């Protein structure tokens, strides 16, 4: 394509951070058409709940429902729903968005409910009847139905935000739980006046009775028909963003296929049921990559899962088990949070996804969906297990990789020894397993920059790192000598699979001094 053609081409607007369907359509932003599914859900008329990771398009979805139920036909011109909907009736819509606040005090939640109720009360002239928030909410629903002659649509976005924000403050969480449970439970009593209810959140674990109280709520989070309701499929990306893909490929010196494959490795891989194995891409990350032309970790950088890291630390969870862990199907959809088992919450928050399913025993195998999540998560939790500040993790890992790339295994081991020596006292009393987790984190994080694997099964070395010129086979002996570690490499044939690819093979046996809580001696055989 000639250069002047590119300059004169109309600017295509990427909907990064756009949560208003009306703005998206009226200002001509690109849109991945989800309206056929919106129509299907609206026609079914069941009250629905959907959990998806943050930045996955939940707010835009609710805004689309709002525009549809308000009968704004012009916004849907050219979309799938235009051929399906004939009447375009207008319903009263009550849209509550809990996304915006910090929720660091009880007043924050009270304020947002108060503001929203007043707005609705003015609209439907209820005069603020009722003393409690829940009583006023009920009055608004009833009066809106009576005044318009049509039943009410209720849309609640990020219903669990106040609870996730107060995770480490039990007293505040209790207050929020009481307030919200009373508020949401209105939706059961108000059923005669309701046309449609749709609730979204990151997790189903609100640690409150919303789901038992609202037993008419259909959880569509794992429903095969609605897998693609939020996020993007590969086919959708190729259909809607072909020019952006071509530009991304050119800018990074890749072919179209290579760019698509890299996009997949970075941002694809979310599976929300076991029948439809089509992976979903994180839309926020994909759009940011198209905008910048860089394969960056925009999703992870936009927020940090502090409450999850706290959960992992409190439960002393073994991080090595996370990628490939088996859980029951019941635990993924249960609404009772188990403080002793953080895995379902990590799954629901989008840091793990379904990799396999065993129908005989009803067991899911979970794992990281893609490289953005895997390395973002491991980078984030590293400071909770190591002496390295979050800002320094990449620096350390970069140094480790450089040393092995240049063949300086001595420098690598010395740096690893310094790394352990810097452990603060409170970390230094940790168990043997803690140190194994640290080894795991170091080698796993090196996988961002070079081929690195950590033992996941018996009959494998503790760690293997491949650079352009070298293959390193590491064995760490927590209760033995460096000689014994090397002997194990030889006897078990750990290095055998790696000898034929032309790279120089380096075997490294390392002892671990339990008393010093650090590396002891090591032996290197080339």
**Per-residue pLDDT at 198 exceeds 80:** yes
What is the Cα–Cα distance from 391 to 235, expressed in whole angstroms? 37
Q: Is there a contact between 109 and 165 (Cβ–Cβ < 8 Å)?
A: no
Of 306, 288, 308, 309, nearest to 297 (Cα)?
288
**Per-residue pLDDT at 6 exceeds 70:** no
Scanning the structure block, which residue is given the tokens 């309206």? 35
pTM attached to this predicted model: 0.89
Mean pLDDT of 259-269: 96
What is the Cα–Cα distance from 88 to 162, expressed in whole angstroms? 35
pLDDT at 277: 75
pLDDT at 3: 45
Q: What is the mean pLDDT of the chain?
A: 87
Scanning the structure block, which residue is given the tokens 């950590």? 454
Q: Is there a contact between 267 and 370 (Cβ–Cβ < 8 Å)?
A: yes
pLDDT at 128: 64
**Per-residue pLDDT at 4 exceeds 60:** no
Reading phi first (left if > 0) and then psi (alpha if -120 to 50, else beta), residue 269 is in left
Residue 451 dihedral angles phi and psi, to the nearest 5°: -75, 115
| Collapsed DSSP state (helix, strand, coil) of residue 186 | helix
Of the candidate ranges 59-73, 180-194, 452-466, the one whose mean pLDDT is the lowest? 452-466
pLDDT at 426: 62
pLDDT at 429: 58
Q: In order of start, what are the domains of the chain with their CATH numbers?
A: 21-107+144-226 (3.40.50), 231-301 (no CATH), 306-371 (no CATH), 386-525 (3.40.1350)
**Per-residue pLDDT at 300 exceeds 80:** no
Which tokens hold the place of 501? 């690819």
Mean pLDDT of 377-382: 86
**Terminal CA-to-CA distance of the chain, rounded, Å?**
52
What is the Cα–Cα distance from 204 to 123, expressed in whole angstroms? 32
Of the candidate ranges 140-144, 208-212, 348-352, 430-434, the one whose mean pLDDT is the lowest? 208-212
What is the Cα–Cα distance from 280 to 452, expressed in whole angstroms? 26
Tens of pLDDT, residue by residue over 313-362, are: 777 778 888 888 999 887 776 656 566 678 888 888 888 999 999 989 88
What is the Cα–Cα distance from 506 to 497, expressed in whole angstroms? 13
Most confident of the ranges 33-37, 332-336, 511-515: 33-37
Mean pLDDT of 489-509: 87
Most confident of the ranges 318-322, 465-469, 498-502: 465-469
pLDDT at 434: 77
Which tokens hold the place of 143? 């009066």
**Cα dihedral 421, 427, 428, 433 sign:** negative
Q: Strand ranges (DSSP E) for 62-137?
A: 93-97
**Per-residue pLDDT at 261 exceeds 90:** yes
Scanning the structure block, which residue is given the tokens 């020019």? 243
């Amino acid at each position: 394509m000639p250069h002047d053609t590119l300059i004169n081409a109309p600017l295509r607007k990427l909907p990064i951070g756009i949560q208003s369907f009306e703005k998206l359509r009226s200002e001509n932003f690109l849109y991945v058409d989800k309206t056929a599914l919106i129509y299907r859900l609206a026609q079914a008329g069941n009250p629905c709940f959907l959990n998806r990771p943050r930045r996955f398009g939940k707010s835009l979805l609710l805004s689309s429902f709002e525009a549809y139920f308000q009968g704004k036909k012009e916004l849907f011109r050219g979309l799938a729903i235009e051929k399906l909907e004939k009447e375009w009736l207008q319903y009263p819509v009550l849209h509550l968005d809990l996304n915006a606040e910090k929720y660091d005090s009880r007043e924050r939640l009270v304020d947002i409910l108060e503001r929203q109720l007043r707005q609705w009360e003015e609209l439907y002239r209820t005069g603020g009847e009722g003393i409690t928030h829940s009583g006023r909410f009920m009055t608004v629903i009833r009066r809106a139905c009576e005044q318009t002659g049509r039943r009410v649509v209720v849309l609640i976005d990020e219903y669990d935000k106040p609870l996730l924000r107060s995770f480490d403050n039990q007293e505040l969480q209790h207050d929020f739980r009481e307030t919200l449970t009373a508020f949401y439970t209105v939706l059961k009593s108000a059923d005669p006046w309701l046309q449609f209810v749709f609730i979204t959140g990151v997790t189903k674990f609100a640690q409150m009775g919303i789901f038992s109280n609202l037993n008419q709520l259909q959880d569509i989070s794992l429903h095969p028909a609605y897998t693609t309701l939020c996020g993007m499929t590969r086919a959708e990306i190729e259909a809607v963003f072909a020019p952006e893909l071509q530009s991304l490929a050119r800018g990074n010196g890749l072919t179209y296929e290579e760019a698509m494959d890299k996009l997949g490795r970075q941002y694809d891989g979310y599976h929300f049921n076991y029948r439809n194995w089509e992976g979903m891409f994180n839309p926020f990350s994909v759009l940011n990559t198209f905008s910048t032309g860089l394969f960056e970790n925009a999703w992870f950088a936009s927020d940090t899962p502090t409450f999850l890291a706290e959960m992992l630390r409190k439960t002393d969870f073994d991080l090595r088990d996370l990628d490939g862990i088996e859980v029951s199907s019941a635990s993924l959809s249960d609404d009772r949070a188990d403080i002793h088992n953080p895995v379902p919450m990590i799954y629901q928050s989008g840091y793990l996804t379904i990799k396999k399913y065993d129908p005989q025993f009803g067991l899911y195998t979970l794992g990281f969906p893609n490289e953005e999540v895997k390395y973002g998560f491991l980078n984030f939790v590293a400071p909770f297990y190591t002496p390295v500040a979050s800002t320094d993790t990449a620096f350390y890992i970069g140094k480790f990789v450089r040393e092995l790339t240049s063949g300086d295994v001595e420098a690598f081991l010395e740096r690893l020894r310094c790394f352990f020596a810097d452990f603060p006292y409170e970390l230094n009393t940790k168990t043997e397993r803690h140190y194994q987790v640290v080894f795991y984190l170091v080698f796993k994080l090196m996988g961002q920059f070079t081929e690195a694997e950590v033992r996941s099964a018996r009959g494998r070395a503790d760690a293997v790192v491949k650079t352009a010129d070298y293959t390193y086979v590491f064995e760490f002996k927590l209760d033995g000598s460096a000689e014994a570690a090397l002997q194990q490499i030889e006897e078990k044939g750990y290095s055998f699979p790696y000898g034929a690819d032309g790279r120089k093979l380096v075997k490294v046996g390392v002892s671990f001094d339990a008393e010093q809580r650090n590396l002891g001696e090591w032996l290197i055989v080339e």
